[in-house]
A and B are shown apart, each in its own frame.
Chain A
Amino acid sequence: MNIFSAYLEKPTNIRFATQEPGEKIIFALRKAFVTNIPWIILSILALLAPTFYMNYVLKYGTLFSFYKGLELENIAIALWYVMSVIYTLERFITWYFNVYIVTDRRLIDIDFKPLFYKNVSEATYDNLEDTSFSMSNIFQTIFNYGNVLMQTAAEQNQFEFIDIPNPAKVQDIISDLAAKAGGGHE
């Protein structure tokens, strides 16, 4: 696997904290990588913006002429880079650690939000009542990603894998596993 993998089928080099002995991972999924493109473009623009600004300064002079005596231009640019790096890292880390795992025994949804939020939820196949998938816009159709929705009989009655690659295959396998486990699934 590489750091940007979003779809791994029967991965051998992935484990998770609550994995039971003999439990096999069938899918390890993240949001499709293509869903990252908007923030990647924004980050590149944000990192390039000071260059454009310095070109402007060379032609027309500083915007901070009221603040002589301190290198405000440098401070403003350093702060701009700080904000850009925070934004980029926050988006990457959020994508990287939001993982959906399908094993031969259960479904696991690892939710992660910087800086303080982490939630791990799981559902067993015998609780699964219905599964469906949807691809609801042109990008999802072109790049083959979408949502898989699972209704469960448990307290948390909905389980959703959002923007995952190849949702049809994932839904099909989950459906087969639920049928095998003897849940309410057809």
Chain B
Amino acid sequence: MSNMEFSNIVVIFLNTIVVIIVLMYLLFAVILVRQVSLMGQVIITGVDKYVKAMALIHLAFAFIVALFLINTLLL
């Protein structure tokens, strides 16, 4: 196997790992929003809205990171 072929295999392997991590991260962000919303019904405090806002901002951040990484990998 030439160095070029080995290098390509490493690149494909690393790209796959990054895509899997990014997809899992997006899933985490979505579940977090859902869980914060559900827990907000179990215990209702005056500051729930801040935690919900934090979860939504995090979801937006997760999408931006995912777009950045996928864009970097594909271009």
Contacts and interface: CB of A to CB of B under 8 A. Distances in A.
B44 A14 contact: yes
Interface stretch (A110-118, A127-135, A156-164): A110-118
A67 B11 contact: yes
Interface residues of B, number: 33
Contacts of A20: none
B34 to A, nearest CB: 9
A53 B7 CA distance: 25
Q: Interface of chain B, helix or strand or loop or mixed?
A: helix
B73 A75 contact: yes
Interface stretch (A93-101, A147-155, A165-173, A175-183): A93-101
A114 B42 contact: no
A29 to B, nearest CB: 12
Interface string B1-12: 000000100110
Interface residues of A, number: 36
Contacts of A82: 21-22, 25, 62, 65
Interface of A: 1-3, 13-17, 28, 66-67, 69-72, 74-75, 78-79, 81-82, 85-86, 89, 93, 96-97, 99, 101, 110, 112, 114-116, 118, 120
Interface of B: 7, 10-11, 14, 18, 21-22, 25, 28, 31-32, 35-36, 38-39, 41-47, 50-51, 54, 58, 61-62, 65, 68-69, 72-73
